[in-house]
Amino acid sequence: MIIAVTGTPGVGKTTVSKLLSKRLGYEYVGVKEFAVERDIGEKVGDEIEIDIDELAEKMVEEFKGKNVVIDGHLSHFVPSDLVVVLRVHPRLVAERLKDRGYSRKKLAENVEAELIDVILVEALEENERVIEVDTTGKTPEEVVDEIIGLIERGVKKRVGIVDWSEAYDEVLPYLNLGGE
């Protein structure tokens, strides 16, 4: 089975994906590393812009019939058996990305994306089987237990479990209202 773990930057994808793959005995694959190793995408400044169609094609080719956990905020564009969308309170996105030294603009973009469910909506447009997990106040182990529990119960879809509208005022100082 191919499991895609996606979500806003800083939500905890890499932490959870590594643990989940270990617990299930699956291979762990990071989208960025995969793309760099195979020369998919272009370097734009110090980031790489990944060609999503090429990524999906190459991953399907390599992982068909295998058990893998794919980690990355583009993983929901890769055909998979299950998409796990990790969520976290937007305040924590802000705090984590601030600690990483992200620019105000990138901070604002990502806090806003979490606030208005950008990745969830994209994932639902691309996939049938989408499971959303709120990681707020949970340990990575608890998050992985929840994911495995949902898989074992055969849950096909579980979305709409968070509503960050109440968080708006709190994260307002991080937002870049009005653009540039």
Instruction: Using alpha carbons, select from 26, 10, 8, 9 the residue that is nearest to residue 147.
Output: 26
CA distance 86 to 96: 15
Instruction: Output the 3-class SS for 140-174.
Output: HHHHHHHHHHHHHCCCCCECCCCCHHHHHHHHHHH
Contact between residue 6 and residue 76 where contact means Cβ atoms under 8 Å apart: yes
Applying CB under 6 A, among 84, 108, 135, 164 the residue interacting with ligand ATP is 135
- Residue 73 lies near ligand ATP (rule: CB under 6 A): yes
Structure token digits, residue 118: 């950008």
- Cβ-based nearer residue to ligand ATP, 8 or 80: 8
Applying CB under 6 A, among 58, 91, 98, 138 the residue interacting with ligand ATP is 138
Min. distance of Cβ 178 from ligand ATP in angstroms?
A: 26
Residue 140's binding partner out of Mg ion, ligand ATP, none, with CB under 5 to 8 Å set by partner kind: ligand ATP
> Which residue type, as a one-letter code, is found at position 4?
A
Query: Among 13-21, 53-61, 118-126, 162-170, which window interacts with ligand ATP (CB under 6 A)?
Result: 13-21
Structure token digits, residue 77: 């564009």
DSSP state of 68: E
- Cβ-based nearer residue to ligand ATP, 24 or 64: 24
Min. distance of Cβ 111 from ligand ATP in angstroms?
A: 13
Q: Do the strands 47-49 and 42-44 form a parallel or antiparallel pair, or are they unpaired?
A: antiparallel
| Region 2-31 residues binding Mg ion, contact defined as CB under 5 A | 13-14
Min. distance of Cβ 96 from ligand ATP in angstroms?
A: 5
Min. distance of Cβ 171 from ligand ATP in angstroms?
A: 17
Give me the residues that bind ligand ATP (CB under 6 A), please: 7, 9-16, 73, 96, 135, 138-140, 143
